[in-house]
Amino acid sequence: MPLKQAITGAEAVAYAMKQINPDVVAAYPITPQTPVVEYFAKYVADGVVDTEMIPVESEHSAMSAVVGAAASGARAFTATASAGLALMHEIVFIAASLRLPIVMAVANRALSGPLNIHCDHSDAMAERDSGWIQLWAENAQEAYDFTVMAYKIAEHKDVRLPVMVNFDGFIISHGVEVVETLDDELVKDFIGKQIKMYPLLDTSNPVTYGSIDMYDYYFEHKRQQVEAMKYVPKVFKEVAEEFAKISGRKYDLIDEYMLDDAEYIMIALGSTAGTIKHTINELRKEGKKVGLLKPWIFRPFPKVEYQRLLNGRKAVVVLDRSASFGAEAPLYQSVKSALYEIAVKPQIGSYVYGLGGRDITPTHIQQAFEDAFKGDLIVDEERYLGLRE
């Protein structure tokens, strides 16, 4: 029987990991990721999981430990945020290039400085080009569901790439919401037996990981990473379909909210997408044809889907919770570039919001929609919501 619980996003992720029962977890505490590791450490201490938990001295070591574990053939997990993810940066790339199916939960938080512990997306965006699959959760339910789905995507023989499950720091990690969890057995059967490929511990078939690779083969190896990403949308859809059978919750590359007849479409990642849905419900009562396109997956970026969904609409408003100093914000950049090839281009505008945890309310969202209704969007202008100027 599915169980409805009032729990935080952090607890939801830890609960999913308890059901997955990974071989190795290595993590270093950092706000707002800490409760994920605390809850999981309790499962280890209580003996409800068989996991080897490695307390490490830094995030660089945490990622290094899970890389070693995954290369040896173990199912490995870590969690981090902000400066912790930044400290992992070097090994984050190595995990992807070694094609290791690691899963990492990221409670998205601003990067210093100035020092700030609250939510924005600059930590994950700094790893945008690292070769990891990036899933983005709107709420605690999605954080739980994506954690359950992640290994099946990562370990698929056509993919073999690490997966980052992003959920907004504090807003989701520390907020209590209703989460419907699945039975332990159901999750166990869904995850299935791990598909091992080239494990180091298979001594009768010795392999080398992380060897030197100069201009003779490095490029070919990078090309294989590019290729692997192309299989992700198909595999994600298959896994999502299987997950729907056990949960009743249907995921896709993109969450389409009131999109069918929408003339004005907003695009945003994470928890703000919920606040946008709420605002859309209100605007729809006034007869406004508004909708939301929420990326459930940001890397790889399913360009064709954006082209199909945005062709011929009146206006597209892209909200970014991170900035790219001296260039366009990352989500806007991706969307704008996808629209280059479509037949009937909508007006498009960029809005940066919520840096360092600045609250974003329905009033701000409505304000951006109002600009779109008036035809007041400028393609090369970056605007800001909820900022004192």
Residues 13-72 that bind other proteins (CB under 8 A): none
For the CB of residue 272, give the shortest distance to other proteins in the complex, in Å.
7
Q: Which of 23, 52, 177, 252 binds other proteins (CB under 8 A)?
A: 177
Cβ–Cβ contacts within 10 Å for residue 242, how many?
A: 13
Q: Which of 76, 133, 149, 171 binds other proteins (CB under 8 A)?
A: 171
* CA 78 from centroid of its chain's CA atoms: 14
Query: Does position 170 bind other proteins by CB under 8 A?
Result: yes
Which is nearer to other proteins, 84 or 354 (by Cβ)? 354
Q: Which of 118, 128, 313, 336 binds other proteins (CB under 8 A)?
A: 118
Are the beta carbons of 353 and 332 closer than 8 angstroms?
Answer: no
Of 290, 279, 233, 228, the C-alpha closest to 256 is 290
* Site track 184-213 with other proteins (rule: CB under 8 A), x = hit: ------------------------------
Amino acid identity of residue 215, one-letter, is Y
- What CA–CA distance (Å, rounded) separates 245 from 234? 17
Cβ–Cβ contacts within 10 Å for residue 98, how many?
A: 19
Which listed range, 88-96, 100-108, 165-173, 306-314, lies at the site for other proteins (CB under 8 A)?
A: 165-173
For the CB of residue 164, give the shortest distance to other proteins in the complex, in Å.
20
* CA 100 from centroid of its chain's CA atoms: 17
Query: Does position 275 bind other proteins by CB under 8 A?
Result: yes
Residues 122-141 that bind other proteins (CB under 8 A): 139
For the CB of residue 100, give the shortest distance to other proteins in the complex, in Å.
33
Residues 326-385 that bind other proteins (CB under 8 A): 359-362
Which is nearer to other proteins, 74 or 140 (by Cβ)? 140
For the CB of residue 373, give the shortest distance to other proteins in the complex, in Å.
21
Residues 232-271 that bind other proteins (CB under 8 A): 271
Which listed range, 97-105, 170-178, 216-224, 339-347, lies at the site for other proteins (CB under 8 A)?
A: 170-178
Are the beta carbons of 40 and 52 closer than 8 angstroms?
Answer: no
Which is nearer to other proteins, 152 or 321 (by Cβ)? 321
> What would the two tokens of residue 356 be?
């360092």
Residues 277-306 that bind other proteins (CB under 8 A): 277-278, 281-282
DSSP-derived pairing of the beta strands 76-80 and 103-108:
parallel
Residue 388: partners with Cβ closer than 8 Å, 6 or more residues away: none
For the CB of residue 33, give the shortest distance to other proteins in the complex, in Å.
14
Rg of the chain on CA atoms, in Å: 21
Residue 306: partners with Cβ closer than 8 Å, 6 or more residues away: 254, 293, 335, 338, 339
> What would the two tokens of residue 19 be?
């059901």
- Does 113 sit behind a cis peptide bond, omega within 30 degrees of 0 on the bond before it? yes
- What CA–CA distance (Å, rounded) separates 123 from 296? 17
> What would the two tokens of residue 184 be?
């332990």
Query: Does position 320 bind other proteins by CB under 8 A?
Result: no
> What would the two tokens of residue 54 be?
């490695």
For the CB of residue 32, give the shortest distance to other proteins in the complex, in Å.
8
Which is nearer to other proteins, 207 or 387 (by Cβ)? 387
- The residues binding other proteins (CB under 8 A) are 4-6, 117-118, 139, 168, 170-172, 174-178, 271-272, 274-275, 277-278, 281-282, 359-362
